[in-house]
Amino acid sequence: MRDFKWSRGEKIAAQKAFDLALTREFEAVMTEAKRRAAQAKDIDDLWNLQGYLFRTRKEIENKFDYRYSVLIFVFARLIADGQLSEEELLGIGEDKLDAIRLILSR
């Protein structure tokens, strides 16, 4: 994949889409953590909650990488996982959208 040049407008649109997907991810984690905490009956349940949060944090840190050199892949993964739609990438250049579509087609 080639290095793309991101215009100021594309950077703003990319940040907006990225933040939207990240907020959705955080909301899902919060909901699940609250559910698990409410159902906790003993210390093992709390340690399991801690393990869930630790694993989930690592997954989020690996998935959400806002470096322009990998952002095309990040967006493709978020779309493939159902966490973002192509329509939510409004403002991203057609060259980048084509690259995302190509990744998704594989």
Q: What is the pLDDT of residues 31-88, one digit of tens each?
A: 999 999 999 999 999 999 999 999 999 999 999 999 999 999 999 999 999 999 999 9
Q: Is the pLDDT of residue 3 over 90?
A: no
Cα–Cα distances (Å) from 10 to 7, 19, 43, 81, 93, in that order, read 5, 14, 48, 22, 7
Q: Is the pLDDT of residue 23 over 80?
A: yes
Q: Is the pLDDT of residue 1 over 80?
A: no
Q: What is the pLDDT of residues 88-97, one digit of tens each?
A: 999 999 999 9
